[in-house]
Amino acid sequence: MTLRIGTRRSALATTQSGHIAAALTERLGVETVLVEITTDGDRSQAAGTSLVGAPSTGVFVSALRDALLAGEVDVAVHSLKDLPTYPTEGITLAAVPPREDPRDVVVARDGLTLGELPPGSKVGTGSPRRVAQIEALGLGVELHGLRGNVDTRIGRVREGVLDAVVLARAGLARLDRLEDVTEVLDPLQVLPAPGQGALAVECRSGDAATLAAVAVLDDPATRAAIHAERTVMAVLEGGCAAPIGALADLAEGEDGPELWLRAVVLTPDGGLSVRRSASAPLGDDPAGWPAAGTALGEALAAEMLADGAAELMATPDSTSHPSARSAEVHNA
C-alpha cells in the first residue's frame, strides 16, 4: 500500500506533509509519496497579488481538495487554520495530530521585543487579527501588509525594510527556525487564529481503508480544542479576514479534564473589542471531547454576540493599513 499525500509546494507545507508521511510510515509501515500541488493562494502570493476584495477562505485548500476528490491523491495535508469552517461534500477530516505551540512570535531587528521597538517602527503582518490586536496594545508601531513565505518575510527584517514581522511559532518550529524568534507573544496580548499550530489530514469520505489508517494520527485533545476555536469563528460568521482570535487549552480540573476557551473579536483598528472566556468538563471518554469542544464554542460565541460582537465585525474599517483588510496569510 502506497499513500499519495497531497501538499502545497512551499517549504513549510512540504515539511509539514513530510512529518505526516513519516508518522504514517512509522505507525502503519506503509509507503508514502508526496504529490505537490499549486493552489490559488500560492499563485497569488508568488505574483504578489493582494487578497483584498478576493474570497480569502480556502484559497490554500481548494486545489488540494480537488485533487483528492479526483483520486489524484489519497490524503491531503493542510494547516488547519486554512480550512473553511463549513463541511465539504465528499471530504472527511480524518485526523488532527498533536498540535504545535499555537502562539504568535516576533522576529525583530537587534533582538528586540514588540514592546521594545521605538514608536514608528515598521512591523509587517498579513493578518487583520494580528493588526487589530497589536493596534489595541497602543505601542505606536506602524503596521504594514506582508505576504510571502517564511524566508521572504524574515528577509524584510534582515534587509532593513521592516523592523519586525509577526509570524506563527508553529511554522518556524517545523522549519527549525526558532533561533530567529525574538519574542513569543503572550495570548493575553495577542490570541492566535482559531486552529493555529494544528494540521488537518483529509481523506475522501468514501475511502474507508484510508480513513481507518489515517485515524491513528488523531489526537482527541487537539481535535477538541480546534473544534471549540473554530466553532467560535463559525458562529460569529467570521472568515479568515475577520479580526477574531481564539485559543482552547486542555487542563486537569477537580473532576477530570476540562477545556478552557478564550476568544476575542475586534474592530479592524483594535479600538473596540469583545473578549470572553469559558470552560467546560470533557468527560472520561476522549471520543466525546470534540463534541464537548463544539458545545463550548457555541456557548462562548453566543455570549460574545450578546455582548455586541456582531456589531464590532460590521464596523467599517477605519484603519489605513492594507493588512487590516487582507486575508490572514497562512504560511506562518
Residue 239 · residue 305 · CB < 8 Å: no
**The residue to which cell 456557548 is assigned:** 299
Residue among 40, 66, 74, 82 flagged as catalytic: 82
Q: How many angstroms separate the CA atoms of 236 and 155, rounded?
A: 35
Torsion of CA 105, 109, 115, 116, to 10 degrees: 150
Please give the helix or strand (H or E) that residue 95 lies within, else none: strand 91-95
CA distances (Å), 140 to each of 43, 245, 287, in order? Answer: 34, 21, 47
Q: How many angstroms separate the CA atoms of 225 and 120, rounded?
A: 37
Strands 164-168 and 122-124: parallel
Residue 103 C-alpha cell reads as: 502562539
Q: How many C-beta atoms surround the C-beta of residue 202 within 10 A?
A: 24
Phi/psi region, residue 71 (left: phi>0; alpha: psi -120 to 50; beta: rest), is: left
The full length of the chain comes to 332
Residue 225 C-alpha cell reads as: 480544542
Longest dimension (CA), the chain: 58
Q: How many angstroms separate the CA atoms of 265 and 281, rounded?
A: 24
Instruction: Look up 82 and say whether it is catalytic.
Output: yes
Residue 92 C-alpha cell reads as: 472527511
Residue 202 · residue 221 · CB < 8 Å: no
Positions marked active-site = 82
